[in-house]
């Protein structure tokens, strides 16, 4: 198939693009190389895609906010399916720059959906976020849980979902919204709890927890996220739907930090800093809907996944660590 992965130089997008290439598909990555973190990581991500298949891979530098570019890429490459991974990341940063997030995350998805409608794309799979839930009325979150977004980032993600639903209903563009729950794994972006904890512990520095550490997260391993997306190439069972993609488990940030300390053998004491605005207190996914519609079954629990990430980090430390610590 001819597949467009927007945001394909990023963590999730590049892992997805690389797997699609290994499956024999032709992949176009559209990415604006936003320097939200060190671009050296994105350059390595693109290199991994090129190594997977140089003759079935193309990189286009540009933004989904460029309407003419998006239309041209979709039309000239005769795109079958679009994986919309492009998004301005960062819950905390969005509080300071709400207009930038609105421009990138809302205008971007509208341009993608317009191009999909004009060119009869078979499906648009939109990367959404557990942040749309906000304050929990109950846990685990199912898809019927009310939405109380606590940051501009979360608002843009929820708006993007609604745009997908509208284009599905009014323009006949098959769309699926996948609500990711804190994705982690090889090549993950540096300013996340797991990458920070591992980096600091491997350098005999104490992990820093923001707040009391009792907040909990449903961490989802990258391979499980990629598998959920790949299934949507083969089935229309989820068209028009919104689904949680999580691990079906959660862990406190304190427990996570303690586990990283133990696994790395660091002789350090955990330290605490002031809690950050807009961070969710708890997340936990009910993935039964995804199980029913696409046979989604998360295969990697947090401890196994963190151990894998530590092994990967150590094997790739020469290039990855300087970029993590500079971001």
> Would you please indicate which residues are annotated as catalytic (active-site) residues?
153
Residue with token string 């053998």: 265
Torsion of CA 288, 282, 323, 48, to 10 degrees: 0
List Cβ neighbours of 40 (8 Å cut-off, separation of 6 or more).
Answer: 319, 322, 323
Check residue 142 and report its DSSP letter. Answer: P
Q: How far apart are CA 269 and CA 248, in angstroms?
A: 30
Q: How many CB atoms lie within 10 A of CB 71?
A: 17
**Burial grade of 181 (CB within 10 A; 0-12, 13-18, 19 or more):** buried
Check residue 180 and report its DSSP letter. Answer: E
């Amino acid at each position: 198939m001819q597949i467009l992965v927007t945001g394909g130089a990023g963590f999730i997008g590049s892992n997805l693009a690389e797997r699609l290439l290994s499956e024999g598909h032709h992949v176009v990555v559209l990415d604006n190389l936003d320097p939200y973190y060190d671009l050296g990581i994105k350059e390595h991500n693109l290199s991994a895609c090129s190594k997977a298949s140089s003759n079935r891979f193309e990189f286009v530098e540009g933004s989904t906010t460029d309407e003419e570019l998006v239309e041209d890429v979709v039309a000239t490459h005769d795109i079958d399916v679009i994986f919309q991974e492009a998004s301005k990341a960062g819950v905390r940063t969005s509080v300071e720059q709400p207009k930038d997030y609105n421009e990138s995350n809302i205008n971007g998805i509208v341009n993608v959906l317009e191009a999909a409608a004009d060119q009869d794309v078979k499906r648009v799979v939109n990367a959404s976020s557990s942040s749309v839930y906000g304050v929990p009325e109950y846990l685990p979150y199912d898809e019927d849980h009310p939405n109380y977004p606590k940051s501009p980032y979360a608002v843009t993600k929820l708006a993007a979902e609604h745009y997908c639903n509208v284009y599905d209903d009014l323009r006949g563009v098959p769309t699926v919204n996948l609500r990711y729950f804190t994705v982690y794994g090889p090549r993950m972006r540096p300013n996340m709890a797991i990458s920070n904890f591992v980096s600091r512990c491997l350098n005999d520095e104490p992990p820093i927890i923001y707040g009391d550490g009792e907040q909990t997260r449903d961490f989802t391993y990258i391979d499980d996220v990629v598998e959920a997306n790949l299934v949507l190439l083969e089935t229309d069972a989820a068209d028009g739907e919104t689904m949680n993609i999580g691990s079906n488990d959660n862990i406190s940030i304190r427990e996570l930090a303690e586990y990283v300390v133990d696994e790395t053998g660091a002789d350090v004491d955990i330290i605490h800093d002031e809690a950050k605005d807009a961070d969710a207190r708890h997340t936990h996914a009910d993935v039964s809907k995804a199980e029913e519609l696409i046979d989604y079954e998360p295969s990697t629990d947090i401890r196994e996944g963190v151990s894998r990430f530590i092994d990967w980090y150590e094997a790739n430390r020469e290039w990855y660590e300087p970029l993590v610590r500079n971001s």
